[in-house]
Amino acid sequence: MSYLFVGIGGIIGSLLRYYIGLSSVIWWSSPFPIATLVINLIGCFVLGWFTTYLSKLKLFSPALLTGFGTGLVGSFTTFSTFSVESVQLIQNSLWGFAILYVLSSLFGGLFFSYFGYRLGDICTKNRLQREGETYK
């Protein structure tokens, strides 16, 4: 059953990424790949939150959790596009954009993952306290 949920999540995640990429052209004309950066930062936050909140509360089946984390978030974010866009910026001698993109992706990804994790941790503690349980 996990395969089905991963497949469905993958379809949804990749379509969301594609839609955001297309819609960013309307409001962003710089060579800096803002759409991929925003997509990856959102994905880092969501996965950080998801792995500490939803998975710890055991509200959903492991198959559905895998479909969301691996399928949807995994196909929504994209390391390969980040890598190709970084190389393209370098090949076009846009070194400032390339360095900014790589550093903001790396440190932004770590920050948003941590922020998602911390928020998920807080949400888990609050929910369990409301239900009269202790959090480990």
Q: Locate all alpha helices (DSSP H) within 53-94, ordered by sequence.
A: 54-57, 62-66, 74-76, 79-91
Please tell me the distance from the alpha carbon of residue 7 to that of residue 2, in angstroms, as a whole number. Answer: 8
Instruction: Report yes or no: 65 and 49 within 8 Å, Cβ to Cβ.
Output: no
Cβ pair 33, 104 in contact under 8 A = no
43 is in an annotated binding site: no
Binding residue per annotation — 77? yes
CB 77 within 8 A of CB 68: no
Q: What residues form the annotated binding site?
A: 74, 77
Q: What residues form the annotated binding site for Na(+)?
A: 74, 77
